[in-house]
Amino acid sequence: MRVSIEDNQVALTVIESLMGSLDRSPVVEHWDDYFLQRWPKLTDVECDAVIEWLLWLNEHPLSPFSKDTILRACETLELVKKHRTE
C-alpha cells in the first residue's frame, strides 16, 4: 500500500490481489477460511488505514477498480471490525 501511494501507482499486482481478497460478500458466513485466517487479525486502526488507502485508490484517476468494488472492499473491512468484536 505504501509503495502504491509513494510511487503513485495503482497498476500493481499486489493491489489486484488485495482487492480480490477484500471484494467479498456482505454475509460473514460466506467468507472462506483463507480470508478469515488473515483479515480479522488486523486491528481497527489497521483496518481504518486500509480503508483510507482504498479511498485514495478510489480517487486516483488511473484506478482500474470500479467505485462499487472499492465500496464493497471498504464495507468488508467495516464488517471485519464488527465481526471480530462479536
Spans of all domains in the chain? 2-85
Find cell 472499492 and name the residue. 70
Q: For residue 85, is pLDDT > 60?
A: no
State the average pLDDT over residues 61-76: 95
Listed in sequence order, the residues at least 6 apart from 81 whose beta carbon sits closer than 8 Å to its beta carbon are: 44, 47
* 73/25 Cα distance (integer angstroms): 9
Q: pLDDT digits over 1-57, tens only?
A: 776 777 777 777 888 999 999 999 999 999 999 999 999 999 999 999 999 999 999
Q: What is the pLDDT of residue 86?
A: 55
Q: What is the pLDDT of residue 3?
A: 66
pTM of the model: 0.86
